[in-house]
Structure formats: C-alpha cells, structure tokens
A and B are shown apart, each in its own frame.
Chain A
C-alpha cells in the first residue's frame, strides 16, 4: 500500500526536522509513526475487558455511578483533605 500525503510547507519543515533529529529519512520516520500508532490498542480494545466485566456484574446504573464517585471522593479526601 502506498499513501500520498500533501503537507503544507510549515508541517513539511517540522517533519523534516524531526526525522533528521531521529537520524532517519522522512519516509522511515513517518513509517515508524504509523507503526507506533497502529500497534497501540484503541480505547475500545483496551477497555473491552473491563466493559465486559461491568456488564456481567449485573450492577445497575446508579450502583455503577456510586462505584465511580466513591473512589473519587475517597481519593480527594485522602490526598487533599
């Protein structure tokens, strides 16, 4: 797959500077950026196990809300007084 991207001069200059600073040509640098991005899980993928655990818990919306608010209150009470 080949992708062509049109960049404004300002972005091109910055990109070239970043690539040079990393010791790579622009193509290799951009490729590394893309690899880094697509290797990382999305929020949906990352949160999925917890989403499923919450769904499976059978807790209602108000119980979930309490489970969220209580630790925030506890954390603030403990850290901030």
Chain B
C-alpha cells in the first residue's frame, strides 16, 4: 500500500431500500457518504436510531451492497464479507452449542494462514485478553450477557481481521457492565491496534471510545459533523476521563447536535406516517 492510499476509504456511498409492502415509498437510508479511516483508528458512528449508520457499517463489512459508491480496504475494493472484516452484533451471536473456548476457537476455524497448534494458541490468547479464562469450559448460555459479548469479541479477533465492525455491541447490557466493557475495549484496542468502526446512539459511549466521531443526520444519513476527540479531550482515556471537564463539554456539544437530529427524524416520521417502516437500525427489516 503506498503512502497515499488510506487504510479504509468510503467513497460516495448511497443506499436505498425497496419497501416490502406495496404502496410504500422506497427508503433512502444513506446519501453520498465519504470518509477515510487510518489503520488503528477507532471511529464511532453516532446517530439517531434507524438513521442508516448500521447499514453503512454493513456495507463496509460487505454484508450489504451500496447502490452507488465504493469501499476500499487497504486499496482493495470490498465486494463481499470475508475474514478481513470482523463483525460483532448487538444480539448475542456466540454459539450456544459451543463452550466459551470453543466459540473463540471457532474464530480460527477457517484460517489458512496458521496451523492447528497456532490456532489453539491464538484462541487461548484472546480468551485471556477478554478475561474469561475461568469460564473457558462453560456453555455460553450459562454466562452473563456481558461475558457473551466478550466471547463474541474474542471470537472475531481470533479470526485475525484487519478491521472490527461493531454494531451497538453493548446496547443490550446494563449500565455498569457497559462501562466496564467500554473500558475493556479501549484496553484491547491499545494492545491489538486494529481499526474499529463502532456504531452507537449513546453519546457518552461515543465520546469515551472514539478517536473520531462521525455524527449522522436523520435518514437519509449524511455526516453532519466530524469530531477528532483528542482535539477536545487530551490525554489517555481511562475511567476518570468521564469525570473531566473537557469530556463534559464535548459530551454536551455532541448531545446538542444529536438532539436536533432526533427532532428531525421524529418530524419526518410523523409526516410520512411510516412510524415503523425501515425498523431499528435501518438494516433490520429491509436488509435481506
């Protein structure tokens, strides 16, 4: 990759979903979005529910196709899902028929770049990294939701992806677990130094995690504001960061921008009378 090629380039992506029901207009979810990400950068997509941020992330992952525009990862055009683009979902996707360690090992199953012994070593390394060594032999429905998400993250990392795509991974967790996992994700990212796209509608989560925040408008999604967090909240991120004044200011600013967008989405929904059409996350119903 030469100097001028960005690690990830999103170039003029637009997307429209055909409505399932007759008589409904097609839903324009993403409108001409472009951005570049550096390797090792943690980007947060922040936006109101149903604005299309998840869909954009899924397009990056190759799980959806853009109507217009292209994605390049390390200069190579994205044409479909593969091992380079790891996903972590909001719903629990660790496999119930496998134990914790076997779930993580599953991440290495289709790797051809390493052999059996090394796969085992990789699986155990990520088991340790997410702090689940004592639970290695547990079936995943015997452990808590927070642990299940850690299993999912470890499994994805074990596959050796170049970029991690996380779709509200902590959305279903209680506040304490959520905070703990946010911190743990930063720790993991410090060690792994992978590019991450993290989708959320939680302002505090966004400000705490992000190197860069992309704030999206209501549908169709466009980037309304881009914030480099280090410009506002200097220093290393830790649990005390959330108490700092700089964090507080940035959070309030982001919250105000988002309030405007949420207001807009409520209005457009009321006008079109299509309250639930498109569903949560934009990709939900129409994503087949």
Verify that A and B bind, or say they do not: no
Binding site for A on B (CB under 8 A): none
